[in-house]
């Protein structure tokens, strides 16, 4: 711009008047001095009205946009930026800048003009200037020659943008709403028509007003702004008298007088914009700094906020210094005292100083990054208490409730910022050097961005690692009392980022405590039956803090809990004991440090303990020069559902110099092994393990070293049996009687789910798979079964005569007399082999109630039934080794009741059990045992010895529970003799028991399949006989009825001559229907016969499913074998009874013809009756034969079948008729005898014997009737 040209300038609220002087070098008015008097000025003013109104929406908040809105020139803007120009009114809009980047801003500009005033050219001549001294002073460069009046206002609308909102969306909504203000019709009191949604949005707006209008109250809300905007035209006054200068025109004084001061040069626009950018950068830095200071992290941690405050103050100070420099340079350049190069130099120094924009942005970015990193750490640890001051930290640490406090310490927040130090030093030096400082090199001072902790990948990794350890430690100790956790800022110059502080009762133990990490998975080293050997692997981190370890284990069961075991030291070799055999477990471990424990390690895979404990160590039984025989005890512990099916014996030479020598192996199914092919006079190490089949093997037993004999040794070395350890069984019993000896009852475990008709008890646990040896004890009441069982148990447990205790398996009920059985129900005792047993197998003793007591035959039958029920029950036994009859030695013959006992029991078993029947003789006082001869004479089936006597074992058990009593003087001799005999009786009885148990080993066990078949056959026989008996009875009655009717017909003529109405007595068979209370019966409608009593078939099932129906749906019981369709299920039982009725011959004939459905002569009737008689006779014979066949089938399988021939069976029926004396029994007996005669004839034919003449006649008549005769 030429220095002679007029300058147009924005008034910016300054009090311009026509004729006023203005210095363009400093952009200031020169008050109080004018070139003309006021009267002259008033005469030469030209006023021209210029009304105009306009509005503008300003979306930008930049300095450039604001300058443009106010028509600020570049030169004037430079003066404004440097602080040379102070603005008022609407121009204060230039100072209004956003205070946060989270602000959305839109401004509405209202502009109106009223008039234009200017000076005429008449008084501008040199001669017209009244005050010429102004030109010589040089204080002004221009004079105001024109003014444009009006007014303007700026409504600045701001809305805060939350973190969850989109800045652009908010800015767009705000802009759209503000645009409506000048365009929308305003009604009444200035209420803008808006929807509810728009109203809610506008309530979020804040309004700031900058204007040239005098308002009573500045608007602060959107609604206030609308009202103010609507009233602005009225505020100018009716004639615009309240308008203010808006634009100024300046005339150069140089044009009036060459001696006047002049504007040499203007500041270039590029340098103005450059200056603007610098100051905007400082302002933006301040805004960003304020935003950061409002962050949660800056509020919570005063250290962070203090750094930002220091940085903000330094920037503000530098801005003032920079503006001060501009105020000094700009007037000089404009007045020609300096070149613009000075400004350029000044700007270059700023842009290369520590306050350069990039460095400030980087610093604030670092602070944001730092706080974001800290925030991310706190987010990870959001459940942990954060303390923000040292006093708050002391409150936690010194709390008596907290024995330990574990604190995550942020050690870097108070770290001295090197950049702030540089800024401080720079400002100090700048004040001395007057902007002549050397350019700042950011790479030469302080830490680089890569070295700062919050940008270091290594530091971040370590800090995250520490956080994870901290959180893991909290999780693993959340249930622990007297332990607190917190987060605090604790400066530590020795640390880069963070650390763990541990306090114990208010005292800092360690500022760099290493929390142990989760240990590695424990290593399974080896497995035992009740233990697992582990190796605990230390944690990867914090191993120096580990004091000890905890090991946890869990069984593979539903809802199984973890069990913790604390270890006393940091040893890594651990044995977990008290486990169950053959059970799966998994293991985990924790590291223990001073304040607590680490997380559990990952668990191991489930591992199963050994199926059972090792067998007992091998003991010598017989040693020769080339062989060794050993035996051992069974395993003491065995897992659930595990059976020992055999043993593995290993042996090798016991030579210390040979390492890793191979073991030789033999397998056996018993607890005895023979090592053969050995070298003479050589020591061998021997061990044994149990083979549990699919479950695997146990660990080997402890080794036993035995030495073979020399070849020259004459006799094999046989070891004596080791002393019994019967006292060990005292722990498994309870004392029931004091004294010497004391009586101890074994602790038995009753099986659950057994039948009500028998009891089952066990002693010990089953270990070996082999079946128990089963003995069934039977005998009469008082035979001594219970006492004998107790003798057996004392032998089995190894009790000696001199021991002061005795054991009982069965405790007698003391309120029962000896005439009654001490055993009430069938009871089985399963004695599982265990260490200390004197027999090498498990034993099952079945004790039965005694026969023949005072309760009579009914009780004996009940006992027999109980034995049957036990043998047939699936929960009972499936094999038997010995059926032992306990008999008293003095018996010289078997009484009928005793014979019944034998027959009843023997009839239960199959023939294959005969060799397993043994006799146990009690009360034996001498060598002669009469009862053996009685048994031999009775020809009872049983095992025989070489002399033909029953295999037997003799006992005298009266001494077993004999107590030492204080004796009187007269009984001393008797007592002494008796006491002297007792040890010998003990030895002889125990010797006999030993023989008995040894004999059991050689007896072949018998499967009870055949015995159960016998019982099934007997049950079938009883059912068949039950069904056949009424049919036979009915048949006999029918024969009697036919015979009587036939006799009446044969004597008809004679009887009719005597009496026309002659009556005769006839036996009539009638069906009786008896009502059942609850049960149902299956009845045949054709045969009028009950085929199945107590039928339990459900009502909804087809009657074909009844037990008496065959596969074709026909009945197997009723006489005609009718179809199931001819049967009904009724609560009625059909029986037959014979009644005597009086009828005339004519009535009998009429009834007979009615039954046949036709008229007949007497002869024809007789023929029909003859045929019907023989048909029923043959049917009866067939029924009797069926019953006989059932009995004969028992001969094939039963040990004592009680078989009857057909003639014997008919004889039994005859005796029954004689005993019962039911009506018509004489005629039925005659019929049975005739059938017996026929049966005898048929039996002769079957045997090939010669027939008598009358028997041949019978056969001929039978052949004439077309009946088949057996050959």
| Residue 152 lies inside a defined structural domain of this protein | yes
| Residues facing 883 on adjacent strands | 776, 917
3-state secondary structure 1004-1050: CCEECHHHHHHHHHHHHHHHHHHHHHHHHHHHHHHHHHHHHHHHHHH
What does the alpha-carbon distance between residue 810 and residue 821 come to, in Å, rounded to a whole number? 13
Domain end point (choices 1007, 1035, 1051): 1007
What does the alpha-carbon distance between residue 50 and residue 48 come to, in Å, rounded to a whole number? 6
Note whether 659 and 766 are same-domain residues.
no
Tell me which residue has tokens 């895979």: 605
Go through 1097-1134 and write b for each residue having 16 or more CB atoms within 10 A of its CB, e for each that does not. Answer: beeeeebbebebbeeeebbebbbeebebebbebbeebb
pLDDT digits (tens, 9 = 90+) for 1191-1231: 666 556 555 555 445 566 567 667 777 776 777 777 777 77
Tell me which residue has tokens 């230039």: 94
**Would you state the pLDDT for residue 1271?**
39
Note whether 318 and 442 are same-domain residues.
yes
Note whether 693 and 760 are same-domain residues.
no
Q: How far is CA 1106 from the centre of its chain?
A: 48
Model confidence, pTM:
0.60
Note whether 953 and 1040 are same-domain residues.
no
Note whether 584 and 455 are same-domain residues.
no
CA dihedral 1105, 1107, 1111, 1112 (to 10 degrees): -80
User: What three-state secondary structure class fits 959?
Assistant: coil
**Would you state the pLDDT for residue 209?**
93
What does the alpha-carbon distance between residue 951 and residue 937 come to, in Å, rounded to a whole number? 14
Go through 122-134 and write b for each residue having 16 or more CB atoms within 10 A of its CB, e for each that does not. Answer: ebbeeeebeeeeb
H or E element that contains 583: none
Q: Left (φ > 0), alpha (ψ -120 to 50) or beta: where does 542 sit? A: left
3-state secondary structure 7-47: EEEECCCCCCCCCEEEECCCCEEEEEEECCCHHHHHHCEEE
**In the chain, which residues have pLDDT < 50?**
1, 185-189, 446-447, 449-450, 815-819, 966-969, 974, 1057, 1060, 1203-1204, 1246, 1248, 1263, 1266-1271
Complete DSSP assignment for 1072-1106: EEEE-SS-EEEEETTTTEEEEEEE---TTS-GGGS
Note whether 597 and 625 are same-domain residues.
no
| Residue 220 lies inside a defined structural domain of this protein | yes
Burial class (CB in 10 A: 0-12, 13-18, 19+), 38: exposed
H or E element that contains 922: strand 917-922
> Whats the size of the chain, residue-wise?
1271
What does the alpha-carbon distance between residue 964 and residue 435 come to, in Å, rounded to a whole number? 126
Of the candidates 875, 865, 631, the residue with the CA atom closest to the CA atom of residue 762: 875
Domain span at residue 674 reads 619-639+653-716
Tokens of 85: 């120009």
What does the alpha-carbon distance between residue 445 and residue 454 come to, in Å, rounded to a whole number? 18
CB 529 within 8 A of CB 699: yes
Q: Left (φ > 0), alpha (ψ -120 to 50) or beta: where does 1055 sit? A: alpha
| Residues facing 498 on adjacent strands | 410
3-state secondary structure 100-163: CCCEEEEEEEEEEEEEEEEECHHHCCHHHCCCCHHHHHCCCCEEEEEEEEEEEEEEEEEEECCC
| Residue 644 lies inside a defined structural domain of this protein | no
Note whether 375 and 297 are same-domain residues.
yes
What does the alpha-carbon distance between residue 726 and residue 838 come to, in Å, rounded to a whole number? 10
Of the candidates 521, 520, 573, 512, the residue with the CA atom closest to the CA atom of residue 544: 512
- Angle, in degrees to the nearest 10, between helices 302-335 and 74-82: 130
CA dihedral 863, 867, 869, 874 (to 10 degrees): 160
Tokens of 266: 């203007």
**Would you state the pLDDT for residue 128?**
67
**Would you state the pLDDT for residue 186?**
44
Q: How many structural domains comprise the chain?
A: 6
Note whether 314 and 244 are same-domain residues.
no
Complete DSSP assignment for 1245-1256: HHHTPPPPHHHH
**Would you state the pLDDT for residue 188?**
39
**Would you state the pLDDT for residue 398?**
92
Tokens of 563: 């069990």
| Residues facing 1095 on adjacent strands | 1080
**Would you state the pLDDT for residue 447?**
47
Question: Where are the strands (E) in 838-916, listed by range?
Answer: 843-847, 879-880, 882-888
H or E element that contains 730: none
Radius of gyration, CA atoms only, the chain: 64
Domain end point (choices 1007, 1033, 1051): 1007
pLDDT digits (tens, 9 = 90+) for 123-135: 666 566 666 777 7
Tokens of 552: 């946890």
CB 318 within 8 A of CB 282: yes
Note whether 186 and 51 are same-domain residues.
yes
Give the CATH number of the domain where residue 803 resides: 3.40.50.300
User: What three-state secondary structure class fits 984?
Assistant: helix
Note whether 210 and 156 are same-domain residues.
yes
The residues, any chain, with a CB within 8 Å of residue 1138's CB and separated by 6 or more, are 1037, 1040, 1067, 1068, 1069, 1070, 1222, 1223, 1224
| Residue 706 lies inside a defined structural domain of this protein | yes
What does the alpha-carbon distance between residue 1137 and residue 1139 come to, in Å, rounded to a whole number? 7
**Would you state the pLDDT for residue 1040?**
67
| Residue 737 lies inside a defined structural domain of this protein | no
| Residue 647 lies inside a defined structural domain of this protein | no
What does the alpha-carbon distance between residue 791 and residue 846 come to, in Å, rounded to a whole number? 15
User: What three-state secondary structure class fits 666?
Assistant: strand
Dihedrals phi, psi of 903, to nearest 5 degrees: -65, -40
Give the CATH number of the domain where residue 659 resides: 2.60.40.10
Instruction: Respond yes or no on whether the N-terminal peptide bond of residue 659 is cis (omega within 30° of 0).
Output: no
Note whether 816 and 864 are same-domain residues.
yes
First to last CA, the chain: 161
Note whether 1053 and 944 are same-domain residues.
no
**Would you state the pLDDT for residue 1268?**
44
**Would you state the pLDDT for residue 657?**
58
Tokens of 354: 């520590």
CB 170 within 8 A of CB 222: no
The residues, any chain, with a CB within 8 Å of residue 498's CB and separated by 6 or more, are 377, 408, 409, 410, 411, 412, 462, 463, 466, 467
**Would you state the pLDDT for residue 513?**
92
| Residue 1128 lies inside a defined structural domain of this protein | no
CB 887 within 8 A of CB 920: yes
The residues, any chain, with a CB within 8 Å of residue 909's CB and separated by 6 or more, are 883, 1010, 1011, 1014, 1198, 1199, 1200
Question: Where are the strands (E) in 632-771, listed by range?
Answer: 646-653, 664-668, 672-676, 683-691, 704-707, 717-718, 733-737, 742-746, 749-750, 758-763
| Residue 570 lies inside a defined structural domain of this protein | yes
What does the alpha-carbon distance between residue 1046 and residue 1166 come to, in Å, rounded to a whole number? 6
What does the alpha-carbon distance between residue 180 and residue 75 come to, in Å, rounded to a whole number? 35
């Amino acid at each position: 711009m030429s220095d002679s040209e007029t300058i147009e300038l924005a008034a910016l609220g300054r009090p311009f008047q026509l004729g006023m002087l203005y210095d363009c070098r400093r952009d200031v008015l020169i008050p109080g001095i004018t070139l003309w008097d006021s009267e002259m000025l008033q005469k030469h003013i030209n006023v021209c009205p210029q009304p105009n109104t306009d509005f503008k929406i300003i979306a930008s908040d930049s300095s450039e946009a604001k300058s443009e809105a106010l028509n600020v020139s570049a030169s004037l803007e430079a003066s404004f930026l440097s602080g040379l120009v102070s603005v008022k009114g609407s121009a204060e809009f230039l100072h209004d800048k956003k205070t946060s980047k989270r602000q959305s801003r839109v401004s509405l500009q209202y502009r109106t003009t009223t008039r234009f005033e200017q000076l005429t050219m008449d008084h501008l001549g040199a001669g017209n200037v009244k005050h010429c001294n102004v030109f010589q002073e040089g204080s002004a460069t221009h004079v105001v020659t024109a003014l444009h009046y009006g007014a303007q206002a700026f409504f600045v609308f701001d809305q805060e943008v939350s973190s969850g909102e989109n800045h652009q969306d908010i800015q767009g909504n705000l802009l759209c709403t503000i645009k409506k203000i000048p365009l929308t019709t305003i009604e009444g009191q200035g209420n803008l028509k808006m929807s509810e949604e728009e109203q809610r949005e506008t309530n979020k707006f804040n309004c700031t007003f900058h204007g040239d209008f005098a308002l009573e109250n500045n608007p602060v809300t959107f609604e206030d702004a609308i009202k103010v905007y609507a009233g602005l035209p009225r505020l100018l006054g009716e004639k615009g008298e309240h308008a203010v200068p808006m634009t100024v025109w300046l005339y150069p004084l140089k044009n009036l007088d060459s001696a006047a001061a002049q504007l040499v040069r203007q500041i270039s626009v590029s340098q103005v914009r450059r200056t603007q950018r610098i100051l905007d950068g400082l302002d933006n830095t301040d805004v960003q700094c304020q935003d950061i200071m409002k962050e949660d992290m800056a509020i919570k941690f005063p250290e962070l906020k203090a750094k930002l405050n220091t940085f903000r103050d330094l920037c503000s100070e530098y801005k003032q210094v920079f503006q001060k420099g501009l105020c000094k340079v700009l007037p000089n350049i404009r007045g020609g005292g300096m070149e613009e190069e000075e400004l350029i130099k000044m700007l270059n120094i700023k842009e290369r100083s520590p306050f350069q924009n990039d460095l400030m942005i980087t610093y604030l970015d670092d602070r944001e990054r730092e706080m974001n990193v800290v925030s991310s750490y706190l987010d990870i640890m959001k459940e942990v208490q954060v303390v923000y001051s040292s006093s708050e930290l002391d409150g936690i640490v010194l709390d008596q409730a907290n024995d330990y406090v574990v604190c995550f310490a942020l050690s870097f927040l108070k770290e001295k910022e090197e950049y702030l130090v540089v800024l401080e030093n720079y400002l100090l030096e700048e004040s001395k050097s007057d902007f002549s400082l050397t350019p700042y090199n950011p790479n030469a001072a302080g830490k680089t961005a890569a070295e700062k902790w919050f940008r270091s990948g290594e530091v971040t990794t370590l800090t995250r690692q520490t956080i994870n350890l901290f959180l893991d430690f909290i999780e693993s100790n959340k249930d622990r009392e007297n332990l607190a956790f917190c987060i605090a800022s604790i400066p530590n110059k020795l640390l880069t980022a963070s650390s763990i502080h541990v306090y114990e009762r208010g005292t800092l133990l360690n500022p760099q405590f290493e929390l142990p990490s989760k240990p590695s998975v424990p290593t399974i080293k080896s497995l035992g039956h009740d233990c697992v050997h582990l190796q605990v692997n230390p944690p990867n981190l914090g191993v120096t803090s580990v004091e000890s370890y905890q090991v946890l284990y869990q069984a593979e069961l539903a809802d199984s809990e973890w069990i913790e075991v604390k270890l006393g030291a940091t040893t890594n070799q651990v044995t977990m004991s008290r486990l169950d055999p053959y059970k799966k477990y998994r293991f985990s471990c924790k590291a223990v440090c001073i304040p607590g424990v680490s997380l559990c390690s990952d668990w191991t895979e489930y591992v199963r303990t050994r199926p059972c404990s090792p067998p007992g160590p091998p003991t010598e039984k017989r040693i020769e020069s080339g062989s060794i025989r050993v035996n051992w005890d069974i395993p003491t512990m065995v897992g659930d559902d595990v059976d020992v099916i055999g043993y593995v014996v290993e042996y090798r030479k016991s030579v210390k110099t040979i390492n890793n020598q191979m073991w030789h192996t033999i397998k056996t199914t018993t607890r005895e092994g023979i090592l053969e092919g050995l070298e003479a006079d050589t020591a061998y190490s021997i061990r044994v393990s149990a083979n549990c089949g699919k479950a695997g093997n146990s660990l080997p037993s402890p080794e036993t070293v035995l030495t073979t004999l020399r070849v020259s040794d004459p006799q094999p070395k046989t070891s004596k049996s080791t002393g019994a350890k019967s006292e060990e069984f005292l722990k498994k019993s309870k004392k029931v009687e004091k004294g010497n000896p004391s009586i101890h009852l074994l602790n038995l475990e009753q099986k659950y789910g057994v039948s009500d008709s028998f009891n089952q008890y066990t002693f010990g646990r089953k270990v070996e798979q082999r079946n128990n040896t089963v003995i069934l004890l039977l005998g009469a009441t008082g035979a001594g079964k219970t006492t004998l069982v107790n003798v057996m148990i004392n032998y089995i447990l190894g009790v000696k005569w001199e021991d002061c205790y005795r054991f009982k398996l069965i405790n007698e009920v003391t309120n029962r007399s000896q005439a009654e059985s001490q055993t009430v129900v069938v009871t089985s005792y399963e004695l599982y082999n265990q260490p200390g047993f004197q027999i090498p197998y498990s034993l099952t003793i079945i004790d039965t109630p005694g026969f023949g007591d005072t309760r009579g035959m009914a009780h004996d039958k009940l006992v027999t039934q109980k034995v049957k029920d036990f043998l047939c029950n699936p929960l009972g036994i499936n094999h038997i080794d010995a059926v032992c009859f306990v008999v008293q030695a003095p018996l010289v013959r078997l009484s009928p009741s005793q014979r019944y006992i034998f027959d009843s029991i023997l009839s239960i078993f199959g023939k294959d059990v005969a060799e397993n029947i043994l006799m146990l003789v009690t009360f034996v006082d001498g060598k002669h045992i009469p009862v053996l001869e009685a048994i031999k004479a009775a020809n009872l089936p049983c095992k025989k010895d070489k002399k033909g006597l029953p295999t037997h074992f003799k006992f005298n058990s009266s001494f077993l529970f004999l107590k030492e009593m204080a004796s009187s003087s007269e009984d001393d001799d008797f007592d002494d003799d008796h006491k002297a005999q007792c040890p010998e009786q003990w030895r002889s009885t125990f010797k006999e028991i030993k023989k008995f148990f040894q004999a059991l080993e050689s007896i072949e066990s018998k499967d009870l399949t055949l015995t159960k078949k016998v019982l099934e056959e007997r049950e079938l026989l009883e059912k068949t006989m039950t069904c056949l008996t009424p049919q036979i009875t009915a048949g006999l009655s029918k024969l009697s009825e036919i015979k009587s009717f036939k006799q009446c017909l044969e004597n008809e003529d004679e009887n009719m001559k005597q009496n026309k109405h002659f009556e005769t007595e006839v036996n009539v068979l009638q069906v009786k229907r008896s009502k059942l209370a609850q049960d149902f019966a299956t009845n045949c409608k054709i045969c009028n016969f009950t085929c199945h009593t107590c039928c339990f078939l459900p009502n909804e099932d087809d009657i074909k499913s009844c037990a008496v129906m065959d596969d074709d749906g026909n009945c197997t019981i009723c006489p005609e074998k009718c179809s199931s369709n001819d049967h009904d299920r009724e609560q009625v039982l059909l029986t037959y009874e014979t009644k005597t009725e009086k009828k005339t011959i004519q009535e009998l004939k009429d009834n007979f013809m009615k039954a046949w459905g036709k008229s007949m002569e007497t002869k024809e009737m007789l023929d029909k009756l003859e045929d019907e008689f023989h048909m029923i006779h043959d049917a009866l014979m067939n029924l009797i034969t069926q019953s006989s066949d059932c009995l004969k089938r028992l001969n094939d399988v039963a040990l004592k079948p009680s078989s009857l021939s057909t003639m014997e069976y008919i004889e039994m029926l005859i005796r029954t008729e004689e005993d019962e004396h039911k009506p018509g029994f004489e005629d039925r007996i005659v019929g049975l005898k005739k059938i017996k005669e026929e049966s005898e004839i048929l039996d002769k034919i079957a045997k090939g014997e010669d027939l008598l003449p009358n028997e041949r006649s019978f056969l001929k008549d039978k052949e004439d009737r077309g009946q088949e005769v057996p050959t």
